[in-house]
C-alpha cells in the first residue's frame, strides 16, 4: 500500500487517524474534507506541512473532486459525514445528502478506480436501542435518529457494493469515541469546556442514558489493523470498549477532575427519540483480530480532560457566535 485517501480527515476521528497513520506508516495520505462547521484545519496543524500529506478542500458529493483524489489512492478510509444527532433532529436534509449520497459517490469512484480496500466507518447507532443486550453484527438495524438512519443507509449501500460489484468493502460500527479534537457540541468536550468556564452542563432528561465509551486512539489502532488484514471483505465489525457509562456518571468524572460543583448540572428537556442504551458485542473482532482496547476509561478520561484544559486555544475559537446561536436554538427548541 502506498497511498491512503481519508475522507473527513479534518474532523475528530479522521484527524486522529491521519496522525496515527503518519506516526506508524510511510504512506501518502490524501485528505478530502469539505471543512463544514465540524471540520477544522487546526486538527491537522502539526502534520499539514508533512510532505506525505495532501489536503483537498472538497465535498464527497462532488464526483469530480472525489475522482481527482481517488485516482492516486490504493485504500479509502471513509469518515466524512454529518455526525451530530441533535442537528439531525433540527435539520435532516444534509445528513441524507452527505451520509447517504456522498457515500454513493465514493463507492462509485472506488469501483471505477479499482480501490484495493474501502473501509467504511459506520456507527453502533445503526442498531438503535441495545435493550436486550449488546448489539451483535447480525442484529437488525433499527436506527432511531435521522443521523443514525442516514448512516444505516450508507452502511447497507457500502455492503451492497461488495455483494453486487465485489468492491473490497469492510464496515466498522464503533461506539462513542472521546479524546482530543472532538468538536465541543458532543457530550464530553461540551461538558468539559462548559465546566471549565463554570457554565451549566445540560443533562437531557434523567441523564441515565448509557453509551459505550472508547478512546479515539484505541479506535484508530483497530482501524489500522483492519486496513492491513486480508479476508475481511464484506464483513461488518463492531468496535467498542465494553465500558458503559451514563451521562450522569460522565458528568461526575468531569466535575470531580476539574474540582467543580455538582450545582453546574442542569436537567433539561429530553432529546426527541433519545436512545436509552447503545452497546455492542465485540466478540467477533476479538476473535478475528485478537484486539483489545488499551485505554482504561479512567486513564482515557483523565488524559482527555487534561487535553482540553491545556488546549483552550483550540476549542475557544470553536465556541464562537455561530456555536452560541446553534446552542441557544437547540435549547430553545427543546423547551
Ligand atoms: P466529525 O463531525 O468530527 O467530522 C466529520 C468531518 O467530515 C468534518 O471534518 C467535516 O468537515 C467532514 N465533512 C462533512 N461533510 C462533508 C462532505 N460533504 N464532504 C467532505 N467532508 C465532509 O465526525 P467524527 O466524530 O470524527 O466521525 C467520523 C465518522 O465516524 C463519521 O462517519 C461518524 O458517523 C463515525 N462515528 C463517529 C463516532 C463518534 O463517537 N464520534 C462513533 C462511531 C462512528
Ligand atoms: P452525544 O455526544 O451527542 O452522542 P450520541 O448522541 O451520538 O450518543 O451524546 C451522548 C449522550 O449524552 C446522549 O445520551 C445524549 C447526552 N447528552 C446530554 O445529556 N447533554 C448534552 O448536552 C449532549 C450534547 C448530550
Neighbouring C-alpha atoms within 13 Å toward the C-beta of 266: 12
Residue 310 lies in a domain: yes
CA of 83 to the centre of ligand 1 (A): 5
CA distance 238 to 161: 20
204 in the same domain as 235: no
CA distance 31 to 55: 5
Ligand 1 touching residue 123 (CB < 6 A): yes
CA distance 178 to 18: 16
267 in the same domain as 222: no
How many folded domains does the chain comprise? 2
3-class secondary structure, 24: helix
Residue 74 lies in a domain: yes
User: Is residue 124 flagged as an active site residue?
Assistant: yes
The atom of ligand 2 lying closest to the CA of 211 is: 8
202 in the same domain as 73: no
Residue 292 lies in a domain: no
CATH number of the domain bearing residue 195: 3.90.25.10
User: Is residue 125 flagged as an active site residue?
Assistant: yes
Residue 284 lies in a domain: no
Which residue's entry shows cell 460500527? 173
The atom of ligand 2 lying closest to the CA of 201 is: 22
Catalytic residue among 127, 147, 161, 181: 147
DSSP tag of 5: E
Residue 287 lies in a domain: no
Q: Which residues line ligand 2 (CB under 6 A)?
A: 85, 176, 186-187, 190, 202-204, 209, 211, 247, 271
- In the prediction, which pLDDT does 1 show? 77
- In the prediction, which pLDDT does 335 show? 58
DSSP tag of 185: T
CB 19, CB 47: distance < 8 Å = yes
226 in the same domain as 101: yes
162 in the same domain as 52: yes
207 in the same domain as 75: no
111 in the same domain as 26: yes
For a substitution probing ligand 2, which of 143, 147, 182, 204 has the most ligand atoms within 8 Å of its CB?
Answer: 204
Q: Whose CA is nearest to atom 15 of ligand 1?
A: 81
Ligand 1 touching residue 151 (CB < 6 A): yes
Distance of CA 215 to the CA centre of its chain: 11
CATH number of the domain bearing residue 47: 3.40.50.720
197 in the same domain as 124: no
- In the prediction, which pLDDT does 114 show? 97
CB 141, CB 128: distance < 8 Å = yes
CA of 143 to the centre of ligand 2 (A): 16
The atom of ligand 1 lying closest to the CA of 43 is: 9
Residue 291 lies in a domain: no
Q: Residue 292's CB: how many other CB atoms inside 10 A?
A: 12
- State the residue range of the domain holding 21: 3-178+214-239
Considering every ligand atom, which ligand is closest to the CA of 205? 2
Q: Whose CA is nearest to atom 7 of ligand 2?
A: 85
For a substitution probing ligand 1, which of 44, 80, 146, 326 has the most ligand atoms within 8 Å of its CB?
Answer: 80
317 in the same domain as 303: yes
CA of 203 to the centre of ligand 2 (A): 8
200 in the same domain as 139: no
| Sign of the alpha-carbon torsion through 136, 139, 142, 148 | positive
Residue 288 lies in a domain: no
197 in the same domain as 130: no
Residue 289 lies in a domain: no
Cell of 140: 437488525
The atom of ligand 1 lying closest to the CA of 214 is: 40
Q: What is the mean pLDDT of each run of 10 residues along the chain (335 residues)?
A: 95 98 98 98 97 98 98 97 98 98 98 98 98 97 98 99 98 98 98 98 98 98 98 98 98 98 97 98 97 97 98 97 95 73
Ligand 1 touching residue 174 (CB < 6 A): yes
- In the prediction, which pLDDT does 332 show? 86
The atom of ligand 2 lying closest to the CA of 83 is: 7
CA of 149 to the centre of ligand 2 (A): 17
CB 185, CB 323: distance < 8 Å = yes
143 in the same domain as 63: yes
Catalytic residue among 82, 124, 218, 235: 124
CA distance 39 to 37: 6
Amino acid at each position: 500500500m502506498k497511498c491512503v485517501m481519508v475522507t473527513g480527515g479534518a474532523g475528530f476521528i479522521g484527524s486522529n487517524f491521519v496522525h496515527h497513520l503518519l506516526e506508524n506508516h510511510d504512506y501518502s495520505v490524501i485528505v478530502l474534507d469539505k471543512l463544514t462547521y465540524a471540520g477544522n484545519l487546526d486538527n491537522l496543524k502539526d502534520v499539514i506541512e508533512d510532505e506525505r500529506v495532501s489536503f483537498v478542500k472538497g465535498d464527497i458529493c462532488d464526483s469530480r473532486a472525489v475522482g481527482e483524489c481517488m485516482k492516486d489512492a490504493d485504500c479509502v478510509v471513509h469518515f466524512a459525514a454529518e455526525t451530530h444527532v441533535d442537528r439531525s433532529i433540527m435539520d435532516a436534509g444534509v445528513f441524507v445528502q452527505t451520509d447517504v449520497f456522498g457515500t454513493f459517490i465514493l463507492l462509485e469512484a472506488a469501483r471505477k478506480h479499482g480501490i484495493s480496500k474501502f473501509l467504511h466507518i459506520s456507527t453502533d447507532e445503526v442498531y438503535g436501542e441495545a435493550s436486550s443486550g449488546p448489539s451483535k453484527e447480525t442484529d437488525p438495524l433499527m436506527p432511531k435518529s435521522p443521523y443514525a438512519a442516514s448512516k444505516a443507509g450508507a452502511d447497507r449501500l457500502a455492503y451492497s457494493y461488495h455483494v453486487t460489484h465485489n468492491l473490497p468493502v469492510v464496515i466498522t460500527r464503533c461506539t462513542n469515541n472521546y479524546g482530543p479534537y472532538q468538536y465541543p457540541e458532543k457530550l464530553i468536550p461540551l461538558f468539559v469546556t462548559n465546566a471549565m468556564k463554570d457554565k451549566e452542563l445540560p443533562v437531557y432528561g434523567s441523564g441515565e442514558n448509557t453509551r459505550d465509551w472508547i478512546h479515539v486512539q484505541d479506535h484508530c489502532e483497530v482501524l489500522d489493523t483492519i486496513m492491513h488484514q486480508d479476508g475481511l471483505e464484506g464483513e461488518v465489525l463492531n468496535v467498542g470498549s465494553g465500558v458503559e457509562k451514563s451521562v450522569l456518571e460522565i458528568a461526575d468524572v468531569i466535575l470531580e477532575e476539574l474540582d467543580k460543583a455538582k450545582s453546574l448540572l442542569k436537567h433539561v428537556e429530553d432529546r426527541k427519540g433519545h436512545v436509552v442504551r447503545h452497546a455492542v458485542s465485540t466478540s467477533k473482532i476479538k476473535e478475528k483480530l485478537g484486539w483489545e482496547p488499551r485505554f482504561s476509561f479512567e486513564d482515557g478520561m483523565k488524559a482527555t480532560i487534561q487535553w482540553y484544559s491545556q488546549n483552550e486555544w483550540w476549542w475557544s475559537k470553536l465556541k464562537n457566535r455561530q456555536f452560541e446561536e446553534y446552542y441557544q436554538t437547540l435549547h430553545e427548541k427543546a423547551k
